[in-house]
Amino acid sequence: MRNKFNLYAVIVFLRSSLLGILMIGVIDSQNSLSAPALPSTSTNLPNATGELSAVSRTRNEDAAKTEKDEASARSEFRGAIVAAIASIVVAIIALLNSLKTAKLTARLNSIVNLQTDYDKDLRNRRIEQYQRLFAWMVNLPKYPKPEPLTVEGLRNLALAFRDWYFGGGGLLLSENEDPARFSESSRERYFDFQEGCKIVLQKIDGEWKFDGDPKNKDDLRLHFERDARWNPREDALIELAACALEKHVDRLPENVVKQLRSLASALRTSMTRDVLTRRSSFLSDDSQNIEK
């Protein structure tokens, strides 16, 4: 509000100054027009004597000089008015440009601040949700050697993942529009893990029906109805689709747990990239050394 008042005061001052200068010019012009001209002594005074002629010539010269000086002064005054008007116009244009720049800068700052607040809020929400998913994968670590994973344990894990996804966690999984890295997003790797659980559980339950080549990723992609850009680097799904599993067993073979662990590890890596928690802090010594 104060800035708007100051701007209004500046505009009023400039307008008043311009009007004042114009009024002075008008008054000066009127005075110059209304000033009586000196009478010509050459016509009114008798030329009887030489003395009167000399006086007449002197007066005529003085009058001509005065008129010339007044014309010069009026010309200089008009020039000063034009220069003052030009200065005021330039000042107004500069003021308007500065206001336009300030408005644009304020808008850009507002957009940047909004984006920053959004990214901070998204990161905080992801950390909260991803921690739950991390905790559920405790039975699929690389170190130390885990306890044998049961079929019932895998089934409960897949159900917990499903509930987490539809409970709000799925809203936060990232996607990658770059075709070269499409399959590396946390969303795609989440579904990779669920596909692996599905293969294992359906084979054990005798419900696995797949007519394609398990070594062919395109056949698997069509079977799972995945995006055309889906092309995971990990071969875990291929290994699970190609392996033979006994039906109605209680514990999963080590080779199956190994492939599930690979899928879980890929998912954990993608989630940590989403929240940037494996980056060095900008305040750490390593980051300072890098900057140097």
pLDDT of residue 225 exceeding 80, the answer is yes
pTM metric for this prediction = 0.64
8 A C-beta contact, residue 75 and residue 29: no
Q: Mean pLDDT over all residues of the chain?
A: 81
**162-172: average pLDDT:** 96
Q: Which alpha helices (H) appear in the chain, and where do they start and end? A: 2-34, 41-44, 50-136, 151-166, 186-205, 217-224, 236-242, 254-275, 285-291
As a whole number of angstroms, the distance between CA 201 and CA 247 comes to 9
pLDDT of residue 280 exceeding 50, the answer is yes
8 A C-beta contact, residue 203 and residue 241: no
pLDDT of residue 153 exceeding 60, the answer is yes
Lowest mean pLDDT among 44-48, 143-147, 150-154, 189-193: 44-48
Q: Residue 226 — φ and ψ, nearest 5°?
A: -95, 165
pLDDT in tens, 27-77: 555 555 444 444 444 444 444 566 667 767 777 777 777 877 777 777 777
As a whole number of angstroms, the distance between CA 29 and CA 33 comes to 6
**181-188: average pLDDT:** 94
What per-residue confidence (pLDDT) applies to 73? 78
